[in-house]
Amino acid sequence: MARQTHLDHLASVSLFSACSKKELQAVAKRSDEVTIPAGRALCEQGAIGREAYVIMSGKAEVRRNKKKVAEIGPGTCVGELALLDHQPRTASVIASTDLTVLVIGVREFSAILDDVPPITHKLMKSMASKIRELDTQAYG
C-alpha cells in the first residue's frame, strides 16, 4: 500500500488533483521517493526527459535559457511533458535546497494509463486546463 504522505502530495498536484484515492494509489505505487541534494539538476533544458518529479519537500529554481523564471516547492510537478511526448525538456530545474521528490518514469506512467483507464481523462482535463491558463496569461 502506498504511504499516505505520497498520496497527500500527489493529490495536491494539479495534474493529479481530480484523481480518486485508488488512482492516486496506482500512481504512488509506481513512484519512487528520492532525495536530491542542493545544487543538483533534476532536469536539463534540451535533454530528452524520461521522468517527472513531484516535489514533496524543499525548493528548486526553474531556468529557461539560463535565466531564472520561477522558484517552486512542495506540491509542484515538473517534467510531466516528458511523460506525454518524449521531447526535449523546455527548462532546467535545479535544487535550491535538498529536495525530496517522487519520481515517475515513462514506463511506469504508461503502465498506470493502461491499468487505470479513467485516469487518462482526468489527466487530459488537467492538461487542457493548464493550456487554457497559459493561453490566458499570454494573450489575455
Q: What is the pLDDT of residues 58-103, one digit of tens each?
A: 999 999 999 999 999 999 999 988 888 889 999 999 999 999 999 9
Alpha-carbon gap, residue 64 to 70, rounded angstroms: 9
Domain-located, residue 138: no
- Residue 122's DSSP bridge partners are none
- Give the pairing of strands 51-57 and 60-64: unpaired
Tell me if 34 sits within 8 A of 103, measured CB to CB: yes
Domain-located, residue 75: yes
Domain-located, residue 132: no
Domain-located, residue 65: yes
* pLDDT the model gives residue 126: 86
19 Cα distance to chain centroid = 14
Domain-located, residue 6: no
Q: For residue 77, which of 99, 108, 47 has the smallest C-alpha distance?
A: 99
The pTM is what? 0.88
Residue 102 is part of which domain span? 32-106
Q: For the chain, what is the mean pLDDT?
A: 92
Alpha-carbon gap, residue 113 to 80, rounded angstroms: 14
CATH number of the CATH domain containing 96: 2.60.120.10
Domain-located, residue 139: no
Task: Provide the number of structural domains found in the chain.
Answer: 1
Domain-located, residue 85: yes
